Amino acid sequence: MKNNSLLNFIWNTKTFGEYASKRRRGEALFAIALITPAILLLGLVIFYPLVQALLLSFQKANLITLNQSTFIGLDNFKKLIFDPVFWISLKNTIVFVGCSVIVGLIVGTLLALLLNENIPFRNFFRGLALIPWVVPGVVVGLLALYMFNSQVGIINWALNYLGLTNGLMDWFGSQKNSLWAIIISNTWNQVPFYMLMILAGLQTVPQDQYEAASIDGASSFEKFFFVTFPNIRGVLLIVTCLMVIWNFNNFDLVWTTTQGGPLNSTMLLSVYVYRNAFVGLDVGYAAAIGLVWLVLLLLFSTIYIRAMRGDEK
């Protein structure tokens, strides 16, 4: 009897093992079947264009006669090194991205802290603050053209009324002021996104930490730096990375207002790539610029994430 019981136990265990193994294989095949369409779609819309752009960067290619492209090695990258407009566009892009992200992050954080307090009509003001975010970039550009108009714009009127300027300032027609006008317009458009994300992060901060800080006699600034900031650091990391990438790719606002002028004073990498590819029809050179652009974004993302992780450790 003991032997028969042992044999039955071994048989049942073997049968169960085979059943579990078949079940796991079935689940794995089912999971593969579910993610395969997504992988194919990503390959079609992301990886295939990326590979094509990489190949084009080593070719002399015209947009109209792509089938007659010729391999020229690193000539496009050599041209890029000695291209003064590329370096101007790179400098403008760094200034545009840096100022937009820094100012947007500061103003968005202040708004989030304010709207996180129990103030009257808080929900109304939260909804009102989101209005600039829902305005498309092209519309923001058209609004900026009217608001920064040197003759009838409300910006010049307000500056004169407050006594901050004497006379009318030329914004989009000036090499000195045009980029700053675009930065101000872009920041106004994007501040609500910072506010919304940071406000969501503030909702997760444990209230008992604030209570403990109050008992210890911490001031409002001390509560922010020692309680609020450590809890929302991850949100700030994500928002900053997203907005740096987003602003590097900003095109519609600049194209609607100045198209890179006057005299390349607002030329960004996104606009310069577009001009080379669809105005100059030199898609090979445009692809080389785009590849450098991609490498810069990857370097920033890597360095920034490692720095934030190091601070956490």
Q: Predicted confidence band at 222 (pLDDT cuts at 50, 70, 90)?
A: confident
pLDDT higher for 249 or 6?
A: 249
Q: How confident is the model at residue 2 (pLDDT cuts 50, 70, 90)?
A: very low
Question: What pLDDT, in 10s, does the model give residues 48-69?
Answer: 888 888 888 888 888 888 778 8
pLDDT digits (tens, 9 = 90+) for 105-146: 999 999 988 888 888 887 888 888 888 888 888 889 899 998
What CA–CA distance (Å, rounded) separates 71 from 238?
40
Domain 75-312: assigned CATH number: 1.10.3720.10
Q: Who contacts 110 (Cβ-Cβ below 8 Å, separation ≥6)?
A: none
Residue that wins the pLDDT comparison between 33 and 267: 267
Predicted pLDDT at 307: 65
Confidence at residue 16, expressed as pLDDT on a 0 to 100 scale: 46
pLDDT at 89 over 90: yes
Region 235-253: what's the mean pLDDT? 87
5-9, 70-74, 307-311, range with the lowest pLDDT: 5-9
Q: Identify residue 8 by its one-letter amino acid code.
A: N
Contacting residues for 260 by C-beta, under 8 A, at least 6 apart: 89, 254, 266, 267, 268, 271, 272, 275
Q: What is the rounded CA–CA span in Å between residue 101 and residue 73?
A: 36
- Torsion (CA) 41, 47, 53, 56 in degrees, nearest 10: -100
Confidence at residue 21, expressed as pLDDT on a 0 to 100 scale: 65
Burial class (CB in 10 A: 0-12, 13-18, 19+), 145: middle
- The predicted model scores a pTM of 0.83
* pLDDT tens-digit series, residues 298-309: 888 787 777 666
In the prediction, which pLDDT does 90 show?
92
* Cα of 198 vs its chain's centroid, Å: 15
Judged against a pLDDT cut of 80, whether residue 290 lies above it is answered with yes
